[in-house]
Amino acid sequence: MTLLAVERIKLFSTRSPWWCMALAMVITIGMAALISANTDDRFPLTVSVSQGFSNFGMVVIMVMAALAVTTEYRFGTIRATFLAVPGRVQALLAKTAVVALLAGVVGEAVAFGSWGIGTLIKPDADMAINSSAEWRNVAGTGLVFALAAVLAVAVGVLVRQTAGAVAILLVYTMLVESLIGLIPTLGQKIQRWLPFQNSTNFQTAGNESFMNETGGLDYPFGPWGSLVYFAAICVGLLVVALVVAKRRDA
């Protein structure tokens, strides 16, 4: 518990987490408000439409998670942390737990905030969360944000440089997985196994709209299976990062 408290204090002692959280909220809920205000009978406002921009908030939170690690490497404070704690793994796991918990809370706030702003703007729209698919689409956002933060921490530990870690996360999440689908013949066969495609499947399966259409991919797992697969990749990458951090100099 002491390690968790220390990591919480270190995380909130800098401005970057506050800016990232605020930016994630403003971008996601702001875009949901903009879309909600411009829906009509041809394009009605639904629960899934209100959640169409959650991935933008997720990317910002991943940047926050990576900064939580790379900032310590940049200023050398990670050395003091490793000297004060008997094992590097425990320190990094505590940091990961704090960051993932914060990411999960922000994810829930973003999701229900987007849903709530849509309900306020268009009170007559069908915004009731009735089905399990709709609950996954909204409440499941926190799980996806938390796991994505775990992956981002792992990348930060492996790369250790802020610019490199942020570039990798942004390019991969916003470009690579989408571009792979453009490869003739093999593109969609590979794409169905990619981590963030599966996290999207968890959130949108059975509840698709043009805002979050999964592209008709034949996913190897159902919604919850896709979440487990995504979690396995995130945790697996974290394990690799912990092994590397334990073996190399701080």
| Buried-exposed string 91-101: b where 16+ CB fall within 10 A, e elsewhere | bbbbbbbbbbe
User: Measuring CA to CA, how many Å separate 96 from each of 66, 99, 128, 157, 164?
Assistant: 10, 5, 34, 10, 19
Place of tokens 């490869």: 183
Residue whose entry in the numeric block shows the structure tokens 């703007």: 121
H or E segment at 61? helix 54-75
Question: How would DSSP label each residue in 172-207?
Answer: IIIIIHHHHTTSTTTHHHHHTTSHHHHHHHHHHTT-
pTM for the whole thing? Answer: 0.92
pLDDT tens digit at each of 250 positions of the chain = 678 888 888 888 888 899 999 999 999 999 999 999 998 878 889 999 999 899 999 999 999 999 999 999 888 888 888 887 778 899 899 999 999 999 999 999 999 999 999 999 998 888 889 889 999 999 999 999 999 999 999 999 999 999 999 999 999 999 999 899 888 888 889 999 999 999 999 998 877 554 444 456 789 999 999 999 999 999 999 999 999 988 886 6
- pLDDT reported for residue 1: 65
Q: Positive or negative CA dihedral for 141, 143, 144, 146?
A: positive
Written as one letter, the residue type at 120 is L
pLDDT at residue 10, as a whole number = 85
Q: What share of the chain is helix, strand, coil (3-state, %, to 5)?
A: 75, 0, 25
Query: Tokens 């908030």 correspond to what residue?
Result: 57
The structural domain count of the chain equals 1
CA angle 216, 172, 35 (to 5 degrees): 60
Domain range for 9: 2-247
